[in-house]
Amino acid sequence: MNTDVSVYEVGLRDGLQNEKAIVPLVDKVRLAEALVASGLRRIEVTSFVSPTWIPQLADADAFCRALPKAENVTFSALCPNQRGLERALATTLPEIAVFVSASETHNKKNVNRSTRQSLDEFKDVIAGAKRANRRIRGYVSTVWGCAYEGAIPIAQSLAVTRELLSLGCYQVSLGDTIGAGTPRQTREILTAYLAELGPDQLAMHMHDTRGTALANILVGLDCGIRDFDSAIGGMGGCPYAPGAAGNVATEDLVYMLDGMGIATGVDADAILMAARVAEEVAGRPLPGKVHQAGWFPKRANVGASGTPISKLK
Ligand code: HMG
Ligand code: MG
């Protein structure tokens, strides 16, 4: 098994968009610093969406200006439309992510347009981002099923993925938006995708609503996927996809990979520290398992800065 896996952190975006509380900017910065200190190299920080639709991320512009300086880290943010791109281009973010659902109903509920309208709008968004030398990632939601429409045919999500790649996305992250997937289904989906696409063109974005995210990720690894999205502490969910629980927790994903001898570049102690910061920032216990149970075998129990966790706030 290839040991080079890239973890794409979405807690600040997918996580905080689904928190009841609106987290103050200063706490978002604290969490961003903890995530950077853990060794994560790809961090999605916010969304340039309507503040009416997602009030939790209304401070996107200011937050991007306040991000820690981190040369080795690629920060990214969601952009649904031209207005979102304009906001992104006013920042120094090197990357944006466009998002669309394979399910017509979910796309309509999420962004108030049809899948076709979203894809048409992305032509200009992606072209504009490329002219400004920004990289573009894509998301396709509801690949494993939709809260409104039930099962989504593989051909339907694959067609949307193909189009995003042909528009210029360097990679498309396949979303199990409501955490419905099971391993045999995952193998079936990935086999169909990989018959025409390279594994590096794909990532997996698994919500863990039914506890099957890591099992699905193992199937992904076996099929050759090396890019996995996760959220610190297991935060996350789409406010416009009823029943969607958090993403697979970053610390759980890193723990599993580490135990399998698969390097992620993420430090064990520092990621547990970041999960602790995430709990403080969210103001509630988070569902990730490894930050509750601890690393095994036991680690030095120090935070990212070398300060014992017990001494950190
Ligand atoms: P709309 O109401 O149809 O927009 O919303 P509109 O174009 O008619 O504009 C209405 C107003 O919104 C106008 O302001 C626009 O300027 C403003 P007014 O003239 O009334 O003052 N507006 C904006 N403001 C700021 N930034 C923008 C923007 N665009 C328009 N970019 C819209 C359409 C797409 C904006 C809205 O539906 C929206 O923001 N939706 C966001 C949904 C969202 O963020 N969902 C969660 C993320 S997706 C997800 O979680 C899934 C994922 O994790 C993968 C997975 O799990 O499967 C990625
Ligand atoms: Mg998501």
What pLDDT shows up at residue 4? Answer: 82
> For residue 310, what pLDDT band results from cuts at 50, 70 and 90?
very low
Closest Cα partner for 161 from 248, 102, 247, 207? Answer: 102
Ligand number, closest to the Cα atom of 238 = 1
Domain ranges of the chain: 6-311
> For residue 300, what pLDDT band results from cuts at 50, 70 and 90?
low
Closest Cα partner for 37 from 59, 78, 69? Answer: 69
- Over the stretch 179-228, which tens digit does the pLDDT of each residue have? 999 999 999 999 999 999 999 999 999 999 999 999 999 999 999 999 99
Cβ within 8 Å of residue 67, ≥6 positions away = 29, 32, 45, 75
pTM higher than 0.85: yes
Burial of 4 (0-12, 13-18, 19+ CB in 10 A): exposed
Q: Is 169 a catalytic residue?
A: no
Ligand number, closest to the Cα atom of 47 = 1
What radius of gyration, in Å, describes the C-alpha atoms of the chain? 18
What topology is assigned to 6-311 in CATH? TIM Barrel (3.20.20)
**Choosing from 79, 146, 169, 238, which is the catalytic residue?**
238
- Over the stretch 39-84, which tens digit does the pLDDT of each residue have? 999 999 999 999 999 999 999 999 999 999 999 999 999 999 999 9
307: CA distance to ligand 2 center in Å?
33
> For residue 251, what pLDDT band results from cuts at 50, 70 and 90?
very high
236: CA distance to ligand 2 center in Å?
7
The verdict on the CB of residue 118 being under 6 Å from ligand 1 is no
- Quick check: 255 and 290 in contact, CB under 8 A? yes
- Over the stretch 6-52, which tens digit does the pLDDT of each residue have? 999 999 999 999 999 999 999 999 999 999 999 999 999 999 999 99
Longest dimension (CA), the chain: 53
